[in-house]
Chain A
């Protein structure tokens, strides 16, 4: 059935180079992008708009598109996912082909792609996260925040994620937006989550969760937090939840406020306000609490005396800042009780293929404005490191699109010779027995997902078992 479908596709789209009535013969520029998140779609959108007659093929590891927009954005932030409408419009262009379920490095090599296409854009982001390398990190319930997010968002490899929410005290290591996302999901009243597209199993586990206190711990101070004001405001406004800060952490912060740039100033003002409102006496331990903890780095994890091989407490060292605003240990240490630790210290990209010019130390592919060399480009987090919101990725991706267009029109990328593009790659994948997913297949999966509105209150429950959906 797959062969028939491919044949049908080829007969409709004959890739013959067109001849112009000039001395220059150019063929159809063929460009492929690895990855199908925002970086990929914004680059594709820009290429289709600016490179005449270009054909763009997107190769995605998962059977479904959209990357972190689908799997990373919290279920209670649905408006952020509106960009999917723009991506869908791009995907429906006759100049774009989506090929899902193809893994670079396993099903295809970078060399094969570079031979088949005039230009290759690597945009596969960061699908791993940084580890601390500390004693006890392998204990049960010391987990990756990234995988916790994948778990509640329906990423198939995280469905059976071993997280136990039958504990009262949780700690999140990191002061970024992902740290606040997971803290918020743990502390949001369950009724608010019911109307989101959070997965069924996560909703069920969170409704039974005993987690009451979440400490979000960072190694530096209020002036160095990486989360943004919108996410902080959401935490402070969480219903039935008390925010707790140590006013001592804010002593030198207030005087610095007037000299800050607007974004940092508004964020810091809000943090100071939270510190002012923080209860000074004892807080009812039954209440939900969000603790913002500063100047602490984890040293090791200790097992719980009650549950074997599971974390029960964490040793922290107390930091101060040096002149370069780096955290340095003071020598003091503390112990904090926690039955669940979520590590949120940053995502991490991987090399994917031996020919990918990946810098292990810096954790991304070195580039200048997205250009590695004429014909090889990198977009999104793989180019910049795993920081920034969709907006910044969009800006960077448009820049990559511009760089590719400039190389094509200047001849640095030679499109005068035809390249086989998907004609060759499709055959390769077929010969290797790879079952690919087309855009139409994705639409079928999407339709099944949308229709599982069983009780009306649970829109868009993400399907984990795509194989069954595609049958």
Chain B
């Protein structure tokens, strides 16, 4: 059982096999072992809260994709864009490791930048992030380094 547990918590695809093995196919049994589970909530730009069951080690961007959340990841998590920009709930902001210089440089280009802005692709889930809320920013038209917004032409 322990080996199956370990396998399942490492590879999401094998969770179904686990459920079938133990006869729980209704999907109500928690995925993986509880100690690996991290529940977070995405809030989309319309304010809808989407609770998501992640696990330790999950990348916030790809977790969002797996749950159909509209977080673009144009450069595929290679720190070359800001399309995975999220606002991290203040209670959790300090729990995240500080952004590296490359992330900070890119955040400069992110529209509607706030104190609690981070790039989703750089957030890897830890147990301490249980309950974290991540808010997606509004649509925007910010083109310039200094935040100037062009008038309609």
- B interface bracket (residues with beta carbon within 8 Å of A): 20 to 34
A80-B80, A228-B109, A362-B153 known; A390 vs B74 contact (CB < 8 Å): yes
Q: Are A79 and B108 in contact (CB under 8 A)?
A: no
- Check if A399 sits within 8 Å of B113, measured CB to CB: no
A263 touches B78 (CB 8 A): no
Inter-subunit contact B108/A229 (CB<8 Å): yes
Q: Does B105 contact A (CB under 8 A)?
A: yes
Residues of A within 8 A of B108 (CB): 228-229, 262-263, 266-267
Q: How far is the CA of A202 from the CA of B142 in the complex (A)?
A: 35
Contact with A along B96-127 (1 / 0, CB 8 A): 00000110111011010100000000000000
Q: Does residue B145 face the partner (Cβ distance < 8 Å to A)?
A: yes
Is residue B128 within 8 Å, beta carbon to beta carbon, of the partner chain?
no
Q: A366-B153, A368-B152 are in contact. Are A391 and B81 (CB under 8 A)?
A: yes
Q: Is B135 an interface residue (CB 8 A)?
A: no
Report Cα–Cα, A462/B28, bound state, in Å: 53
Do residues B139 and A233 form an inter-chain contact, with CB atoms below 8 A?
A: no
How far is it, in angstroms, between the C-alpha of A82 and the C-alpha of B77 when the chains are bound? 9
Closest-by-CB residue of B relative to A45 is B72
Q: Convert A393-428 into 0s and 1s, putting 1 for each residue whose CB lies closer than 8 angstroms to a CB of B.
A: 011101100000000000000000000000000000
What 1/0 mask marks residues of chain A from 209 to 246 whose CB sits below 8 Å from any chain B CB? 00000000000000000101110010000000000000
Q: How far is B81's CA from A392's CA once the two chains are assembled, in angstroms? A: 10
| Assembly CA distance A119 to B78 (angstroms) | 35
Residues 64-103 of B, flagged 1 when their CB comes within 8 A of A and 0 if not, give 0000000010111011111100000000000000000110
**Residues of the A chain whose Cβ atoms lie less than 8 Å from the Cβ of B105:** 228-230, 233, 266
Closest to A371 in B: B152
CA distance A85 to B73 in the complex (A): 11
Closest Cβ of chain B to A198, distance in Å, is 18
Which residue in chain B gives the minimum CB-CB distance to A402?
A: B139
Q: Which of A230, A264, A384, A388 contacts B146 (CB 8 A)?
A: A264
> Hey, which chain B residues are within 8 Å of A396, CB to CB?
141
**B81 pairs with A395, CB closer than 8 A:** no
Residues of B within 8 A of A86 (CB): 74
Q: Does A6 contact B (CB under 8 A)?
A: no
CA A22 to CA B81, docked complex, whole Å: 45
Asked whether A128 is an interface residue with its Cβ less than 8 Å from the other chain, the reply is: no
Shortest Cβ gap from A395 to chain B (Å)? 6
Q: Quick check: A364 and B153 within 8 Å, CB to CB? A: yes
Contact residue among A82, A266, A362, A387 (Cβ-Cβ distance under 8 Å from B104)? A266
Asked if B145 and A264 make an inter-chain contact with CB atoms under 8 angstroms apart, the answer reads yes
In the complex, the answer to whether B140 meets A85 with C-beta atoms within 8 Å is: no
Q: Tell me, yes or no, whether B150 is within 8 Å of chain A by CB.
A: yes
Q: Are A399 and B141 in contact (CB under 8 A)?
A: yes
A467 at the interface (CB under 8 A from B): no
A86 to B80: give the CA distance in the assembly, Å.
Answer: 14
B57 within 8 A of A: no
A360 within 8 A of B: no
In the bound complex, do residue B101 and residue A391 qualify as a contact, i.e. CB atoms below 8 Å apart? Answer: no
The residue on A at minimum CB distance from B111 is A395
Residue of chain A at shortest CB distance from B74: A83
Contacts A364-B153, A384-B150 given; indicate if A82 touches B76 (C-beta within 8 A): yes
Within 8 A of B (CB), among A250-266: 260-264, 266
Point out the residues of chain A lying under 8 angstroms from B153, CB to CB.
Answer: 362, 364, 366-367, 384-385
| Given the contacts A229-B105, A395-B140, A263 and B76 also touching, CB distance less than 8 Å | no
Mark each residue of chain B from 32 to 74: 1 if its CB lies under 8 Å from any CB of chain A, else 0: 0000000000000000000000000000000000000000101
Whether the Cβ atoms of B74 and A230 lie closer than 8 Å is no
Complex: how many Å from CA A367 to CA B139? 19
14 additional contacts, CB 8 Å, given A83-B75, A226-B145, A261-B146? A86-B74, A228-B108, A229-B105, A230-B105, A263-B145, A264-B145, A264-B147, A367-B153, A369-B152, A385-B153, A389-B109, A394-B74, A395-B141, A399-B139
What 5 A-B pairs come out closest when comparing CB atoms?
A263-B108, A79-B78, A79-B80, A388-B143, A264-B146
